[in-house]
């Protein structure tokens, strides 16, 4: 996967610089404090974060502490050194505001997978009536949507972009109705059963596109951007203190089809069960992510 060009070169710059100390760090991992991984209650994030936790604890014998909070709090905590890293920074658009504010206090460890965000409607909403964000200004459409745009947590990157979209497209009579990922989809599902329309803040990867027939609305101004890349980002100095962990995240990636399949399976059982099964079935692949670090270290030694 090609990384977002503004960030990936930085990741590899410090990778080479840290190669000489990676081997010794492996031996000392057990003596170090837990790696504090921040995460937001998003389906894809929970799976990728818990897979990373499983891999680090299994291969490095390094304890991992999971810290859940909203994305804005995560950035602030990371910049302040209260958590070590978050594997869920969407760039170049969704979390640009947070990145621009805190980037001098952060390190980009690499790209985990790609995604997309935007407003979506169920396929039961006729495309002849609602194909674009601009169509939301039609009085009949506004009435059928009850002037509501369903969203997850208030204050996250997509929420802020949605506020901007409402302003840019002059969507008078609309308001964002924020709850949570689960609350947003529950409300949409309830409306679908009653034959009601809905527009939601959607993103890929997500199991919602497997369970429901949804389509993104065209968005001519490009406020939500195109393809997004989901980065692992750490506090400043983390990679120097923890080169073995940093190397892992530099090589850690999730194929989108597999990630979305795990998200659907987790809805039927539990995230912990799905993560354990997936890790056991793919352990050689995860082991290779750590071995790449060791090989790099050996080849760069004089």
CA nearest neighbour of 51 among 284, 297, 280 = 280
Q: What is the pLDDT of residue 118?
A: 95
CATH class of 116-216: alpha beta
Better-predicted residue by pLDDT, 114 or 294: 114
Better-predicted residue by pLDDT, 26 or 172: 172
Reported pTM: 0.70
The SS3 of residue 248 is: helix
Domains 8-115+227-300 and 116-216 share a fold: yes
Segment among 5-9, 67-71, 166-170, 237-241 with least mean pLDDT: 5-9
CA nearest neighbour of 171 among 122, 134, 126 = 134
Better-predicted residue by pLDDT, 10 or 125: 125
Average pLDDT over residues 15-24: 47
Q: What is the pLDDT of residue 24?
A: 47
Residue 176 has pLDDT above 90, yes or no: yes
What residue spans define the domains of the chain?
Answer: 8-115+227-300, 116-216
Per-residue model confidence as pLDDT tens digits over 216-227? 999 999 999 878
Q: pLDDT tier at 110 (50, 70, 90 boundaries)?
A: very high
CATH fold of 8-115+227-300: D-Maltodextrin-Binding Protein; domain 2 (3.40.190)
Residue 49 has pLDDT above 70, yes or no: yes
Q: What is the pLDDT of residue 293?
A: 55
How far is residue 83's CA from residue 66's CA, in Å, rounded to a whole number? 9
Average pLDDT over residues 164-192: 95
CA nearest neighbour of 111 among 132, 126, 129, 90 = 90
Per-residue model confidence as pLDDT tens digits over 234-288? 999 999 999 999 999 999 999 888 998 899 999 889 999 999 999 999 999 999 9
How far is residue 43's CA from residue 271's CA, in Å, rounded to a whole number? 9
Mean pLDDT of the chain: 88
Q: What is the pLDDT of residue 297?
A: 47
Cβ–Cβ under 8 Å, residues 250 and 13: no
Residue 286, C-beta contacts closer than 8 angstroms, at least 6 positions apart? 51, 55, 58, 59, 279
Segment among 72-76, 113-117, 143-147, 186-190 with least mean pLDDT: 113-117
Give the pair of three-digit tokens for residue 157.
């990157």
Q: pLDDT tier at 26 (50, 70, 90 boundaries)?
A: very low
How far is residue 18's CA from residue 246's CA, in Å, rounded to a whole number? 9
Per-residue model confidence as pLDDT tens digits over 203-213? 888 889 888 99
How far is residue 185's CA from residue 267's CA, in Å, rounded to a whole number? 13
Q: What is the pLDDT of residue 52?
A: 97
Q: pLDDT tier at 130 (50, 70, 90 boundaries)?
A: very high
Max Cα–Cα distance, the chain, nearest Å: 72
């Amino acid at each position: 996967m090609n990384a977002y060009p503004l960030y990936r070169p930085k990741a590899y710059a410090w990778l080479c610089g840290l190669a000489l100390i990676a081997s010794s760090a492996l031996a000392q991992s057990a003596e170090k404090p837990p790696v504090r991984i921040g995460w937001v209650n998003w389906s894809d994030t929970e799976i990728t974060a818990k897979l990373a936790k499983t891999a680090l604890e299994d291969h490095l014998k390094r304890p991992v502490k999971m810290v859940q909070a909203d994305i804005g709090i995560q950035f602030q905590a990371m910049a302040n050194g209260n958590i070590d890293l978050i594997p869920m920074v969407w760039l170049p658009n969704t979390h640009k505001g947070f990145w621009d504010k805190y980037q001098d206090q952060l390190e980009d460890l690499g790209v985990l997978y790609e995604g997309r965000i935007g407003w979506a409607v169920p396929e039961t909403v006729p495309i002849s009536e609602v194909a674009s964000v601009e169509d939301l200004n039609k009085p009949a459409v506004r009435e059928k949507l009850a002037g509501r745009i369903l969203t997850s947590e208030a204050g996250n990157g997509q929420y802020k972009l949605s506020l901007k979209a409402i302003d840019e497209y002059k969507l008078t009579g609309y308001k964002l109705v924020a709850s949570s990922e689960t609350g947003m989809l529950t409300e949409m599902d309830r409306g679908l059963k009653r034959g009601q329309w809905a527009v939601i803040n959607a993103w890929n990867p997500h199991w919602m596109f497997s369970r429901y027939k949804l389509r993104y609305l065209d968005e001519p101004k490009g406020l939500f951007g195109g393809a997004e890349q989901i980065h692992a980002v750490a506090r400043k100095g983390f990679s120097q203190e923890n080169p073995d962990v940093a190397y892992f995240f530099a090589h850690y990636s999730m194929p989108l089809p597999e990630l979305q399949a795990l998200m659907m399976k987790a809805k039927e059982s539990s995230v912990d069960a799905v993560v354990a099964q997936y890790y056991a079935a793919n352990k050689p692949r995860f082991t290779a992510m750590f071995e790449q670090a060791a090989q790099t270290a050996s080849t760069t030694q004089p």
